[in-house]
Structure 1
Amino acid sequence: MSQSYPPPPQQGGNPYGQQPPQGGNPYGQQPPQGGFPQQGQPGQQPGGFGGGYPPPAPLPPARNNAGLGILVGVLAMIVAALAYGGLIKVTEHEIGWAALGVGALVGVAVGKVGGSNPILPIIAIPLALLGVYCGQIFGIALTIADLPGAPDVLTILTDHFDLVQEAWKENVGGMDILFFGLAGVEGFVIAKRVAA
């Protein structure tokens, strides 16, 4: 029983016995009325011509970037020091819990932006301490600038910094040292917690 391959042609010249669909498309698919399928038509996949790749997933936020974390930590330290100095001027005395706020703000900035790099919580400690110190210095300069006949704050900080430093040394006490330490601990703990 030998049969020739391909099978003998049937009606219409199609050796496989199927008639091509009307319209001359040998693949059996007809484009929708009006031409090629457009993006967003019902029943079509994304990508334009009835198929394609889905859009890429969004990139995760930049994490574990120690340099950027330190930079943002320095900026947060400056902002916190200015706010702390302003609070000292308004209340006319230092508020210990505000020093904790300086440490917390530095810790959040370093941890959130820098990510889980293990050096960042350690960097947050001196940044928090420096923020508290600068805030106290700025608060003293603001207070001195309010005195009659005193120069402006910028002049006090640049030309008379030694006087501001002396005033700070005379006013620093045991509670100040305690809140310095707590601000450093706060910066370390917060930076570690928000980076995890």
Structure 2
Amino acid sequence: MSQPWQQQPQSQPQQPGNPFAQQQPGAYPPPPAPVRRGNVGLAVVLGIVAALVAAGIYAGVLYATFDEDKGEVTQIGYLAVGVGALIGFALGKFGGNNVALQILGAVLGVVAVVLGELYGYALIMAEYFPGAPAATEIFFDNFSRLFDGWKEDLDAISYLFFALAAAAGFSVAKKSGS
């Protein structure tokens, strides 16, 4: 007969795929990593609000940079990036990592820059053209004429700004949603 001090400890056989097989009795497994889930509906609403706010800021900057002597607007590329980034941040922060929200960030970035340019031109026309109605009246009541004039004024830099706003909206939504 063997003595108790001579007995070999018996170990439990390790089961494949069970990381807790060697765990002490009574110990609990670590809690799972928190899963980040966003509220897509809230993110879409906040993304649209951010797009409208950013478009208003963009219009105000266009109006402020208008040179009456030259009849030109100074366009600022970082402003288009900021518009897209603001929208993308709202979408990603509240909606999580969602590819649809990233695409929406790109689309809303372009829409916000276009609306900002249109309303900025309406502000300029209301201020500097004699007999012109108020900017809101130009924007809402004469939108088709405003849009046609804006289309004629488009150049390569405008398309670059659309691309910058779209890229910023997409990438910031992706990074802030992770």
- Tell me what 1:105 maps to: 86
Structure showing greater Rg: 1
**Deviation by residue 1:127-159 (Cα, 9 ceiling, x = unmatched):** 111001000001000001102211011111122
Are the equivalent residues in 2 in contact too, given 1:106–1:127 (CA < 8 A)? yes
- Tell me what 2:64 maps to: 90
Equivalent position amino acid for 1:156 in 2: I
SS of match in other structure, 2:43? helix
Q: How many residues align?
A: 137
Residue 175 of structure 1: CA displacement? 1.0
Equivalent position amino acid for 1:194 in 2: S
How far apart, in 1, do the equivalents of 2:57 and 2:37 lie?
A: 28
- Tell me what 1:163 maps to: 145
TM-score (norm 2): 0.73
Detail structure 1 runs of 4+ shifted over 4 Å in the superposition.
none
- Tell me what 1:71 maps to: 45
Equivalent position amino acid for 2:51 in 1: M
- Tell me what 2:175 maps to: 193
Superposed counterparts of 1:1-196, under 5 Å: 63-92=37-66, 93=73, 94-146=75-127, 147-196=129-178
Residue 118 of structure 1: CA displacement? 2.7
How far apart, in 2, do the equivalents of 1:167 and 1:137 lie?
A: 9
Which structure shows the higher helix fraction? Answer: 2
Q: What's the C-alpha RMSD, in Å, of the aligned pairs?
A: 1.7
- Tell me what 1:43 maps to: none
Residue 184 of structure 1: CA displacement? 0.3
How far apart, in 2, do the equivalents of 1:135 and 1:63 lie?
A: 32
Are the equivalent residues in 2 in contact too, given 1:96–1:176 (CA < 8 A)? no
How far apart, in 1, do the equivalents of 2:163 and 2:59 lie?
A: 18
- Tell me what 2:22 maps to: none
TM-score (norm 1): 0.66
Equivalent position amino acid for 1:195 in 2: G
How far apart, in 1, do the equivalents of 2:48 and 2:141 lie?
A: 24
Identity within the alignment, %: 41
Are the equivalent residues in 2 in contact too, given 1:140–1:167 (CA < 8 A)? no
